Amino acid sequence: MDHKLRTGAGLSGIVLGAGALAFGAFLSNRHRNRGQDNSPNYTKRQPEGDHAQVGRSVTIRKPRSELFTYWREFQNLPGFMENVEAIDESGADGVFTWKIKAPAGRHVDVRTEISSEKQGEHIAWRSVEGSDIATCGEVRFKDAPGERGTRVSLVMSYDPPAGALVRAVANIFLREPQVQARHDLKRLKMLMETGEIATSVRTRGETRAAKQETE
Amino acid sequence: MRALTWHGTGDVRVDTVSDPEIINSRDAIIKITSTAICGSDLHLYDGVIPGVKPGDVLGHEFMGEVVETGLGSNLKKGQRVVVPFTISCGGCFHCKQQQYSACDNSNPVEKQDMSATLYGQPMSALFGYSHLTGGYSGGQAEYVRVPFSDVGPIVIPDHLDDDQVLFLSDILPTGWMGAENADIQPDDTVAVWGCGPVGLFAIQSAIVMGASKVIAIDHYPNRLALAKQLGAQTIDFRETDVREALMEMSGGIGVDAVIDAVGMESHGFAIDNMIDVVKQKVGMGFDRASALKQAILAVRFGGKVSIPGVYGGMSDKWPLGAMMEKGLQIRGGQTHVQKYTEDLLAKIEDGTLDTTFLISHRLPLEQAAEGYKNFKEQQNEWTKVILKPGMEN
Ligand SMILES: [Zn+2]
Ligand SMILES: [Zn+2]
């Protein structure tokens, strides 16, 4: 991504700019000589870049192309991402609005565009003007050895939102994003490998879907 | 429905709880005809397993009749099935290698964090065995919801009765895998610590696998008699120096393979509790964790150590030097039940294996709490308890 590539104005523009910088650092790390250590930046004790970054990988026993296609259909993501209520393509061309759950039945809107993608390999996105949170992320699909399927890696970079009001609402989204990423990817793995997401509830009234309806 | 529920240490009760329903497409609902109390249920009863909540339905050894199926189940209403205690998806990396008890996909995502912290990676799910292993309602009940019912349950032909096949759910394959993990060769002398149900089945399996001599170690006369009845030689550890005896009984070589079918018993599961309890027990004649230490010292150089007994936490004063210097092979793990059920069912049908000899009591489900109490306190007489929801009180 081009560091100079910035859109937006005012408060959200500033936040977005910071987010874009972080993402730039993340991308460039893949090409930089990093000494005797091949580990991903997000596993470093002191990750490079000024902004929070989380990442997680999971191996899923499905072909790369199938997983890419599933993810690229963004409407599928709320099916395994706990805090994402809906993702709709709305407004400007190529802009997606992620409706993220927040306490007390409220939500925050994260507006993104695809910044880069390659069929079967990766999809990257970043927030645009009007987004409540400055964030960027990337999902990569790589063949796992032998019959193991595909390694799916999700990396997200974000800035704490500016403005007390938004921050209060968004805190829930930003709470332990590392855990959130791990849980979301595990749910995707379950869905792809078994066709369902494991739950130990005994009655339908205890399921997540039923609880949401009564909220 | 009626179900045996956990309320606290030493407090289990038969309560009325909500009936299970089909949640996911591969689910089935089973009406229980027989369900057993397991030695590892006593860990829950003793309150040493973390993540058990009041109201949780216990029980992981059960069988019954299929009464309802999801669209993705291949079971049919009316079929009689035994259900493995391990919940396995059949489609993940581990399941594809028949490492069913390491299934990636059965433990609900939000329940995986605790075991991931303890062990580095999360555990798979088990029925009725705390929220550490998924929080699934167990089978000491009238009905149970069985996820991935197209992978686990094994259909039982009508001519075999419940007593013959119920233990396919856990203790028979667990004893079998315990013997298999000891990599038994025809000339081997094998020593088995603990003559509880798993130990007895490990003894029987080792004999079927062709061990030249099997030595059973316990102190309950009735359990030692059952081992003898299977063809084992016996040692009562209260009367005999076990290591000395094993050296003599193996011709001064040391036994070729050892099987620890004792496990942590009533020791704590949580890390600090575990260490404390082990420390307290050092010096006792037959400390539970010391069964494994004793086994490691008794086995010959280049020998094989199998651990079907359940351990959960950590142990100190571990004989690491003996492990390394003697070049031991050590194998453990929860049982990959689904890998063994078909073969073991055939061995039951053709008479190679008998599973009924250790059943001491059959009770109605309503008397389950009494069953727990006696199974814990009268281990000599109460060798194995089966609960029958349909039985007259
Ligand atoms: Zn058991
Ligand atoms: Zn699996």
pLDDT tens-digit map of B275-311:
545 454 443 333 445 788 889 999 999 999 999 988 7
Q: Is residue B280 classed exposed, middle or buried when 0-12, 13-18 and 19+ CB atoms within 10 A define those classes?
A: exposed
CB burial readout B349-363, b (16+ within 10 A) else e: eeeebebeebbbbbb
**Cβ-based burial of B96 (10 A; exposed 0-12, middle 13-18, buried ≥19):** middle
Q: Is B19 on the interface with A (CB under 8 A)?
A: yes
Nearest CB to A203: which of B18, B93, B135?
B18
Give the residue with greater pLDDT, B220 vs A171: B220
- Looking at residue B50, what is its pLDDT? 83
Higher-confidence position of A89 and A12:
A89
Please list the helix, strand and coil fractions of chain B in percent, rounded to the nearest 5, in that order.
Answer: 35, 25, 45
pTM (two decimals)? 0.88
CB contact under 8 A, A59 and B96: no
Residues near ligand 1 ion, CB 5 Å cutoff: B 38, 170
Mutate to test the interface with B, among A199, A201, A206, A211 (most CBs of B within 10 A): A199
Ligand approaching nearest to the C-alpha of B166: 1
CA of A71 vs chain B CAs: smallest distance (Å): 19
For residues B228-242, average pLDDT: 95
**CA B206/CA B230 separation, integer angstroms:** 11
- Taking the CA of residue A154 and the nearest CA in chain B, the distance in Å comes to 17
pLDDT at A25 over 60: no
pLDDT at A167: 55
B80 forms beta bridges with B65
3-state secondary structure of B361: strand
Q: Report the relative pairing of strands A52-60 and B86-87 from DSSP bridges.
A: unpaired
Chain A residues with CB-CB distance to B72 below 8 A = 195-196
Summarised one tens digit per residue, pLDDT across range A175-190 is: 567 788 899 999 999 9
Q: Where are the beta strands (DSSP E) in A26-178?
A: 52-60, 84-89, 95-101, 107-118, 122-127, 135-143, 150-158
Could you report the per-residue pLDDT of B167-203, keeping only the tens digit for each? 999 999 999 999 999 999 999 999 999 999 999 999 9
Tokens of B278: 């082990």
In a 10 Å sphere around its CB, with 0-12 CB exposed, 13-18 middle and 19+ buried, how is residue B216 labelled? buried
The ipTM is 0.91
Whether A208 has a pLDDT exceeding 90, the answer reads no
Instruction: Count chain A–chain B contacts defined by CB atoms under 8 A.
Output: 78
Among candidates B17, B25, B107 on the partner chain, residue whose Cβ is nearest the Cβ of A195: B25
Contacts of A197 in chain B (CB under 8 A): 24, 108-109
Q: What pLDDT, on a 0 to 100 scale, did the predictor assign at position A163?
A: 57
For residue B342, the model assigns a pLDDT of 97
CA–CA separation, A41 and A38 (whole Å) = 9
pLDDT score of B236 more than 60: yes
Q: Report the pLDDT averaged over residues B149-168.
A: 97
pLDDT, position A164: 54
Residue B301: exposure state from Cβ atoms within 10 A (0-12, 13-18, ≥19): exposed
Which two three-digit tokens encode residue B1?
Answer: 């429905």
Beta bridge partners of B236: B218
- As to burial, measured by CB atoms within 10 angstroms (0-12 exposed, 13-18 middle, 19+ buried), residue B323 is middle
- Tokens of residue B152, six digits: 């686990």
State pLDDT tens for residues B362-372.
Answer: 999 999 999 99
> Chain A closest CA to B175's CA: distance in Å?
28
pLDDT recorded at residue A154 = 95
Percentage of chain A surpassing pLDDT 90? 44
Q: What is the mean pLDDT of chain B?
A: 92
CA distance B44 to chain A (A): 18
Q: What is the mean pLDDT of residues A24-46?
A: 65
Which pLDDT does position B118 carry in this prediction? 84
pLDDT higher for B69 or A89? Answer: B69
Least confident of A23-32, A47-56, B53-62, B140-149: A23-32
